[in-house]
Amino acid sequence: MKARTAWIWPLVAALLIGWVGVSLAQNSSGGAFVPGNDYIVSGQWTWRIGLTPWVIEGATEDTFETRITFAEPTADRTYTIPNATSGAFVFSTLTTNAGDIVNSIWGVSNGLVFEGATADAFEITIAPANVTADVTLTLPLSGAAAASFMISALTTNSVNVANSIWGISNALAFGGATGADGFEIQLTPADVGADRVVTIPDMGAASALVASTLTTNATDAANSVWATSNNMVFEGLTADAYETLFTPVDPTVGDTTISLPNTAGIGVSMFFSTLTTNTIDAANAIWGVSNGLVFEGATGGADAFETTLTVTDPTGDATITLPNQTGTVLLSGATANNGVIGFTRQTAAIAGATQAIALTATSVSITCAAAADVATITGGVAGTRIRIENFHSDCTLTDDETPTEANAIE
């Protein structure tokens, strides 16, 4: 009996599997594949139930499964699994994620589209350029703070590309008009001990930063130069509390240009004044003109009269020394005035006799013919220095005063 009925069980199993396959291939309310078997499904399968048709157990048969479900369609939808060696789906926690849906993200040809908070016709698309080698873009850890990308209107912006800007360690690199030449300008901040804000002001016109070759240039740093309100500040060699401030007076008429001349490599210093209002035509001011210094005097812009100190074109080095003495400068061509004698010149010749010379000038040229000649000076103003020129060494000079120099008497 057993031998005659042994063939029945394989037949029943085959019929049962066939019945299950037929049931699944129909528009049925559900079905199941026999575990541990491979199935090749062809044709079009349609489920008409509200629950998910696909439950995937995974490697472990337990109470945790993956369900694939679909939202209620309002038209036919087709999802294509591409022909790829391997891969994974990009998932979203937004259960309504779809094209043109609020806050959705979806793919387009060579791009990702971000809808944004408003479902409209405006989206942000991230699209990479066509690369010639593998490129990795890393999103850094920004800590707990929210952050944004730095974007560029230059669609070709990249490393070593003309007019590009990119980041390097602690710096921004500017490629300039010639990108692929290997030369860039790097904007690099020093390591700070607190938050710093560097403000680029609204110049209202094309302008440039003032740069320094001193890489440690900063406020109160040795040899630094920096700006304060209406000032340029020079620290000097020692980083202390003492600086030199270069401060212009508020101009009232037109632009003013102060030129530093080309001194041909010779070290020079500026000419300073303790008169803070020192300027052209200002009372008590002194300023330079071509080959001269101009002294305004006590009356400034109210008149057009100044004293100009100028020099004749020298043919050799000349030194004019002002003595350590209080007095008034005597000028050539001047005459006696209130006891002051100006520089004038007279000549006298002594020929074999004693001759009196009445002084009428401040400079006297005396010519002696022989040692017996005697020159006697008379006249003049007491206390005035008289210079005797060309005085023969054999001559005799007499005067009521005692000569203080070989060629001068008081």
User: What single-letter amino acid sits at 272?
Assistant: F
Summarize pLDDT for 10-41 with one digit per residue, the tens. 554 555 555 445 444 444 444 556 566 666 66
323 confidence band (pLDDT: 50, 70, 90)? confident
291 confidence band (pLDDT: 50, 70, 90)? very high
Q: With contact defined as beta carbons under 8 Å apart, do 366 and 395 qualify? A: yes
The residues facing 343 across adjacent strands are: 332
Residue 73 to residue 47: CA distance in whole angstroms: 13
Q: With contact defined as beta carbons under 8 Å apart, do 98 and 107 qualify? A: no
111 confidence band (pLDDT: 50, 70, 90)? very high
Higher pLDDT, 230 or 394: 230
Nearest-Å Rg of the Cα atoms of the chain is 52
- State how beta strands 345-350 and 363-368 pair: parallel
Q: Is the pLDDT of residue 186 over 70?
A: yes
Compute the average pLDDT of residues 193-214: 85
Q: Is the pLDDT of residue 306 over 60?
A: yes
The residues facing 232 across adjacent strands are: 227, 246
Rounded mean pLDDT of the chain?
76
Summarize pLDDT for 353-374 with one digit per residue, the tens. 666 666 665 555 666 666 666 6
Q: Where are the domains of the chain?
A: 1-70, 151-191, 211-253, 273-313, 345-409
Question: What pLDDT is stored for residue 13 in this prediction?
Answer: 52
Question: What pLDDT is stored for residue 68 in this prediction?
Answer: 80
Q: With contact defined as beta carbons under 8 Å apart, do 386 and 362 qualify? A: yes
User: What single-letter amino acid sits at 96?
Assistant: T
DSSP per-residue codes, 90-130: PP-S-TT--TT-TT-EEEETTEEEE--SS-SS--EEE-PPP
Residue 321: CB partners within 8 Å, gap ≥ 6? none
Q: Is the pLDDT of residue 338 over 50?
A: no
Q: Look at 129-138, 257-266, 332-341, 400-409 and tell me which has the smallest mean pLDDT.
A: 400-409
Question: What pLDDT is stored for residue 317 in this prediction?
Answer: 93
Residue 39 to residue 33: CA distance in whole angstroms: 8
For the CA atoms of 318, 324, 325, 327, the dihedral, rounded to the nearest 10 degrees, stands at 40
Summarize pLDDT for 5-17 with one digit per residue, the tens. 555 555 545 555 5
236 confidence band (pLDDT: 50, 70, 90)? very high
Question: What pLDDT is stored for residue 410 in this prediction?
Answer: 35
Question: What pLDDT is stored for residue 8 in this prediction?
Answer: 59
Question: What pLDDT is stored for residue 84 in this prediction?
Answer: 83
Name the phi and psi angles at 14, rounded to 5.
-65, -45
Q: With contact defined as beta carbons under 8 Å apart, do 345 and 363 qualify? A: yes
Question: What pLDDT is stored for residue 379 in this prediction?
Answer: 62
* Three-state SS at 364: strand
How distant is the alpha carbon of residue 347 from its chain centre?
71
Take residue 257 and report the two structure tokens written for it: 């240009």
How crowded is residue 391: how many other Cβ atoms within 10 Å of its Cβ?
20
Percentage of the chain exceeding pLDDT 90? 18
Residue 410 to residue 406: CA distance in whole angstroms: 12
Residue 294 to residue 284: CA distance in whole angstroms: 10
Measured CA distances, 8 to 3, 5, 14, 245, 249 (Å): 10, 6, 10, 112, 117
Q: Is the pLDDT of residue 301 over 70?
A: yes
Take residue 135 and report the two structure tokens written for it: 């490129």
Q: With contact defined as beta carbons under 8 Å apart, do 392 and 383 qualify? A: no
342 confidence band (pLDDT: 50, 70, 90)? very low
Summarize pLDDT for 239-269 with one digit per residue, the tens. 999 999 988 888 888 888 888 878 788 887 7
Summarize pLDDT for 130-183 with one digit per residue, the tens. 888 998 888 877 777 777 888 888 888 888 889 999 888 999 999 888 877 888
CA torsion sign for 102, 108, 113, 119 is negative
Q: 409: burial class by Cβ within 10 Å (0-12, 13-18, 19+)?
A: buried
Residue 185 to residue 169: CA distance in whole angstroms: 14
For the CA atoms of 140, 146, 152, 156, the dihedral, rounded to the nearest 10 degrees, stands at 30
The residues facing 226 across adjacent strands are: 233
Residue 201: CB partners within 8 Å, gap ≥ 6? none
Compute the average pLDDT of residues 387-409: 49
Q: With contact defined as beta carbons under 8 Å apart, do 18 and 25 qualify? A: no
Residue 406 to residue 387: CA distance in whole angstroms: 10
Summarize pLDDT for 275-288 with one digit per residue, the tens. 888 888 888 989 88
Length of the chain: 410
Residue 201 to residue 102: CA distance in whole angstroms: 40
Question: What pLDDT is stored for residue 405 in this prediction?
Answer: 38
Summarize pLDDT for 51-106 with one digit per residue, the tens. 556 778 888 888 888 888 777 788 888 888 888 888 888 888 888 888 899 999 99
Compute the average pLDDT of residues 207-225: 88
Residue 304 to residue 287: CA distance in whole angstroms: 14
397 confidence band (pLDDT: 50, 70, 90)? low
